[in-house]
Amino acid sequence: MHTLNVDLGSRSYPILIGAGLLGRAGSFDQLAARNVLAVSNSTVAPLYMAQLRSSLAPRRVVEVILPDGEAHKTLGNMARVLDVLVANRFARDCAVLALGGGVVGDLAGFAAACYQRGVDFVQVPTTLLAQVDSAVGGKTGVNHVGGKNLIGAFHQPQLVVADTATLQSLPARELRAGLAEVIKYALICDAPLMAWLEQHLGALLGRDPAALAHVILRSCQIKADVVGRDEREQGERALLNLGHTFGHAVEAATGYREWLHGEAVGAGLAMAATMSCECRLLEASDAERVRRLVELAGLPTQVPGVTPQDMLSHMRIDKKVLGGRLRLVLLRRLGAAFVTADYAPEALMRTLAQHCGAGAP
Amino acid sequence: MHTLNVDLGSRSYPILIGAGLLGRAGSFDQLAARNVLAVSNSTVAPLYMAQLRSSLAPRRVVEVILPDGEAHKTLGNMARVLDVLVANRFARDCAVLALGGGVVGDLAGFAAACYQRGVDFVQVPTTLLAQVDSAVGGKTGVNHVGGKNLIGAFHQPQLVVADTATLQSLPARELRAGLAEVIKYALICDAPLMAWLEQHLGALLGRDPAALAHVILRSCQIKADVVGRDEREQGERALLNLGHTFGHAVEAATGYREWLHGEAVGAGLAMAATMSCECRLLEASDAERVRRLVELAGLPTQVPGVTPQDMLSHMRIDKKVLGGRLRLVLLRRLGAAFVTADYAPEALMRTLAQHCGAGAP
């Protein structure tokens, strides 16, 4: 087992990473609450809830099982979680626990942030995407029909338990979606990780435990460092949104129903690389290397059926708009991302035209 | 004009107090946002929105007008505010402004806390209760059918503008409700203020500007000091809930429709005094003095139509329950409150029996 620490002063917390952690009562020693609301979905709960319950004993565990999928990450379902907390008369010293992927984690975390103005929260991520990204860092929230994660809160978990054994049961499509976030970390600040990924994607797609453990640990290290330096995204943390402004627009434009978040991020990374090339920051060969790596991970780089105009309209409500100007995370080289609002609108239009629309291959 | 500062490091903010501030553009100099969502209610907006709009010019101001009353402080109405923010494509650099009393302030502040994980927030309180209490300190939230303020966030305003001239248009019932919170501050930590109130309640009820300015300034000073020392209610801030655990139960038991919040707090203060007496902390004559002051302010001290059992059941979901034990704020003398879970259940039952039930006078 590896233990990483997210260093946030009085809000610091450990990330436990290892195979079989879910079945070990010791994994939850940190958790003081005697009353736990476990939020999960209809796919994950049948696989792992019983094991979790026994590890949490003798605590009282009440369950809320949501339908599976990004389309269910709504304020309405968050209200459902709150209703169950109230109905069970859970007090401020309870904890909310998320067992599942990013949707469950974001929604349950937001409920924990708002119930009685904030109760303890535990993340038990069971997807690669949640283990490398969404379970760490305290961003919680739900979607609005107008845009992704537009409603939410910063609310750090008290503990993250990432059981890598759960990845063996993950659908292949979800595994690939998680790899998008790993590629993202490499592009932002870790060129050696990019080279490693180019060589070991086969092992990752084959679920080699050592390969998976390597990328989860490295991803969590990078994220914990960035979040420790900039919890509320006043600066550096915005880099972690590489590919996400494009990706969120893809998700919103398709009603959160067709694309997995990680798939949209994969296409978004390819778009960010193209845009960096259009802005004469990145060599065409490097942008091509990004596109190839995304494709090697089995992820889309093209968005058929969404027009560049649709994309633009959804990007304008993105949280990175300031003073009416949309900021983008771009690459000045592989392994070096930066935020900028200084780009030619035509470069953005050319980028969208290359990746989106009915005519996209 | 008086300016007080709430000292919270990077989240510090000024409270401006004075007559006519609403009509002065300079009152909003602090406000950097060019896009403002002004939330108000159907009673206050016709009186003051036009004046506010001209003071905010040339900023863009979009309005959300809610129905008046505590019954409308719901997650559904908070979602309405979010819908308007999204529909107008307001970015993270917008501000939400609350023009009205505690209901508008709590709900708008919660929307500001959740929109894009937190945008700027300005309080323009127009009731005595909001000016002396709810507009200061960053507690935001909405009610749940199961209990008062069960859903919310800590989100400090960037600026509070308390225009004391607005109190001249306040219904008498609302003015009295606001006095409950002023009496609360006196009981918690300011015995001289209690004596002052006993002498000057007539002037306050007659809306003497100097008397009103005195209690607003003193109340805000006390609240700013307490919040500056304990923003998130880890300790001392809980004292500000004197009378509120009882009061919230009265409001919840009557569906948030019959009692104004301040009226319920008035009765709650009388109950807290009785309970302190039942616990042999306070002299009977002092409890009687509290009851008389509440009545002199024109506030109820009895709760007919709600049984002690109803009260208990609603008190059990209060945010001050820890480890299954309900903590209460009690008085060890007038001007000295403290928090305790160490009391005889029978003392609580005797207290409720004296103030509640069909048989209450």
pLDDT at residue number B322? 66
- The string over A84-94, giving b where at least 16 C-beta atoms fall within 10 Å of a residue's C-beta and e elsewhere, is ebbeeebbbbb
Choose among B92, B145, B153: nearest Cβ to A113: B153
pLDDT for A358 equals: 66
Distance, first Cα to last Cα, chain B: 44
Q: What is the structure's pLDDT at B171?
A: 96
pLDDT score of B358 = 66
For residue A2, the number of C-alpha atoms closer than 13 Å in the C-beta half-sphere is 15
Model pLDDT for residues A324-358, shown as the tens digit of each residue = 789 999 999 999 999 999 999 999 999 999 999 86
Tell me, yes or no, if A115 comes closer than 8 A to chain B by beta carbon.
yes
**Mean pLDDT across the stretch B194-210?**
97
Q: What is A172-355's CATH number?
A: 1.20.1090.10
Which tokens hold the place of A25? Answer: 């009562």
pLDDT confidence bin for A108, thresholds 50/70/90 = very high
Which residues in chain B touch residue A106, judged by CB atoms under 8 angstroms apart? Answer: none
Which tens digits make up the pLDDT trace of A109-149? 999 999 999 999 999 999 999 999 999 999 999 999 888 89
CA–CA dist A138, B255 (Å, integer): 35
Q: In angstroms, rounded to a whole number, what is the distance separating the alpha carbons of residues B347 and B142?
A: 31
pLDDT reported for residue B339: 96
What pLDDT does B256 receive? 86
Mean of pLDDT values over B75-103: 96
B181 assigned to active site: yes
DSSP states along A46-68: HHHHHHHHHHHTTSEEEEEEEPS
pLDDT score for B316:
83
What is the overall mean pLDDT for chain A? 95
| Mean pLDDT estimate for chain B | 95
- Segment B234-240 shows an average pLDDT of 94
Helices A172-189 and A209-229, packing angle to 10 deg: 50
B13-18 and B159-163 strand pairing: parallel
* Interchain proximity A118–B153, CB inside 8 Å: yes
pLDDT value, residue B257: 87
Residue-wise pLDDT tens digits, A257-278: 899 999 999 999 999 999 999 9
Across A102-111, A213-222, B195-204, B251-260, least confident range: B251-260
> What is the chain A residue with the closest CA to B86?
A146
In this prediction, residues B222-251 reach a mean pLDDT of 95
Same fold, A2-169 and A172-355: no
Catalytic residue of the set B176, B244, B320, B327: B244
The alpha carbon of residue A78 is apart from the nearest alpha carbon of chain B, in Å, by 11
Q: B2-169: which CATH number, 3.40.50.1000, 1.10.10.10, 3.30.379.10, 3.40.50.1970?
A: 3.40.50.1970
**Chain B CB contacts of A87 below 8 Å:** 146
Domain borders along chain A are 2-169, 172-355
How confident is residue A238, by pLDDT bands cut at 50, 70 and 90? very high
B92 touches chain A (CB under 8 A): yes
Taking residues B49-53, report their average pLDDT.
98
Over residues A61-69, the mean pLDDT reads 97
Segment B292-330, tens digit of pLDDT: 999 999 999 999 999 999 999 989 877 767 667 899 999
Phi then psi for A160, rounded to 5 degrees?
A: -125, 125
Per-residue pLDDT at A15: 97
